[in-house]
Structure 1
């Protein structure tokens, strides 16, 4: 019995997912456990460096909770978009098999990054909860929706980056640099409400700000979500994903033959 197009794509994505995780983590002594340990180590270092200072300047909120709910969504976004640029070259030989398409590589990488950081998020939040840091998950549905939207947004930008990077190879080194400044304007190390309202319009164009602040408001009772909107995040996601899919559809054949 012939398989449907969706079943074929599902099988291709699964195979690429398994290949990706084996390529990235299979060579380490700790094996797949390193998938969670690597970003956790990064987070713990940041908590150690900034924790004491920020605890004194943010007495009304647990800084570990504040940082985890800011930096992990950003890492999901950053890793998916940056890894999309070299997705075609990393899997070039697999495109000789007709069922495997370039978009499948982005989907597989996005699923992997989302799963890794979901595990890291749960582990870190559990650890700091056991250590006595105060938080209360009051918006689990909101957190799930924000994570889904941030992954889809990342896939949209990843598709755009993949098309641009393949069409203009010289931009592959430049495109990751575009993402890095967002770290400083996405409310990762500060809250939106620590900024005068006159400057809010300059920050709120960035959908990552909305994702970060919504995540914090979902786990910190009393944390204000004024100014941010899940509708804006969803709107940006749909627009960027549509642009990414349109560019990909227009350039797919050219990318495979070039």
Structure 2
């Protein structure tokens, strides 16, 4: 529905000739990140009854929720993107190695952000509302509707630090053979995701029992 609505105003996409695939290559990874990280952030609260059993740990709850939601989102991405490629004459020959790598980094980033927010949501309940507010403009500033290269300076340098910009750029590099997305930094994505994941695990390891008892 969103594709139909926005395609009326964006007859000529920034890449290629088909707006639905251009929009989907930005929207699908964004929704994948948003869903996985959001469900992971609530995993400690959702699994509180199970965590009363000594055999079940906070890490079990995080891993289980990550796997379920990641597989769900991968299926959604496969159906959505594959359906568009079949339904429209996009004239694209995707590089599936790059596409798989892009969605793998999307899941990894969601794991890092979700694990860190799992601690923050439980320790500071107000952070859940703050995070919800912060994520609203991300829909606009994650290069879903436009290309990173079209943003004027100095805003481009500021927007570079948004990791979702790198994710979307990497996905589009995989679908569009003529799009290099040279601004994408794999090291930045990997470093940020692992740093947040390790910090979140460390905080949860030290305080998860206290957090559950306080809740």
Q: TM exceeds 0.5? A: yes
Is 1:143 the equivalent of 2:114?
no
Look up the match of 1:102. Answer: 58
Structure 1: unaligned runs, 5 residues or longer: 1-44
Greater helix percent: which structure?
Answer: 1
Which is bigger in relative contact order (C-alpha 8 A, separation at least 6)?
2
Query: How large is the RMSD of aligned CA atoms in angstroms?
Result: 2.0
Further displaced range: 216-225 or 245-254: 245-254
Q: CA deviation at 1:59?
A: 6.9
Look up the match of 2:6. Answer: 50
The correspondence of residues 44-123 of structure 1 with structure 2, limited to 5 A, is 45-56=1-12, 58=14, 60-123=16-79
Q: 2:171 aligns with which of 215, 225, 231?
A: 215
Structure 2: unaligned runs, 5 residues or longer: none
Between Structure 1 and Structure 2, how many residues are aligned?
A: 213
TM-score (norm 1): 0.75
Counterpart CA distance in 2 for 1:60 and 1:103 is 43
The correspondence of residues 169-184 of structure 1 with structure 2, limited to 5 A, is 169-184=125-140
Further displaced range: 114-123 or 164-173: 164-173
Q: CA deviation at 1:250?
A: 2.0
Look up the match of 1:5. Answer: none
Counterpart CA distance in 2 for 1:59 and 1:152 is 26
- Contact kept, 8 Å, 2:16 with 2:22, in 1: the verdict is no
- Contact kept, 8 Å, 1:70 with 1:188, in 2: the verdict is yes
Is 1:163 the equivalent of 2:119?
yes
Look up the match of 2:91. Answer: 134
Runs of 4+ off more than 4 Å? none
1:205-252 deviation digits (Å, cap 9, x = unpaired)? 111111110110111121131211222211221222222222222222
SS in 1 for 2:129: coil
Counterpart CA distance in 2 for 1:57 and 1:150 is 23
- Contact kept, 8 Å, 1:159 with 1:245, in 2: the verdict is yes
